[in-house]
Amino acid sequence: MNKENAVLVKSLDFALNIFEFCELLEENKKFVIGNKLLKSGTSLGAGINTAQNPISNNHFIYKNENCS
């Protein structure tokens, strides 16, 4: 059975919403906050990807214990 991963789907949707919102901020010349939001909002996906594909069990534990 090929079941969809809800965490991955939701993080992708979130990142796409962040992109759209940052485009609105850019149109309104809110460059600094838009850039910061874009970096932080899309880093969520990178963290989830790392947690989904750990090198080892210890790597998975390390990555998930040190999220802040």
Q: What is the mean pLDDT of the chain?
A: 83
Q: Is residue 27 part of a domain?
A: yes
At residue 51's C-alpha, the angle toward residues 66 and 18, to 5°, is 90
* For residues 5-27, average pLDDT: 91
* For residues 27-47, average pLDDT: 90
Residue 2 confidence (pLDDT): 57
Q: Is residue 1 part of a domain?
A: no
Domain that holds residue 59: 6-65
Q: Which residue has the higher pLDDT, 68 or 17?
A: 17
Would you place residue 1 in the very low, low, confident or very high pLDDT band (cuts 50, 70, 90)?
very low
* CATH number for position 36: 1.20.1440.60
Residue 53 confidence (pLDDT): 73
Q: How many domains does the chain have?
A: 1
Is-contact 11 48, C-beta < 8 A? Answer: yes
Residue 61 confidence (pLDDT): 76
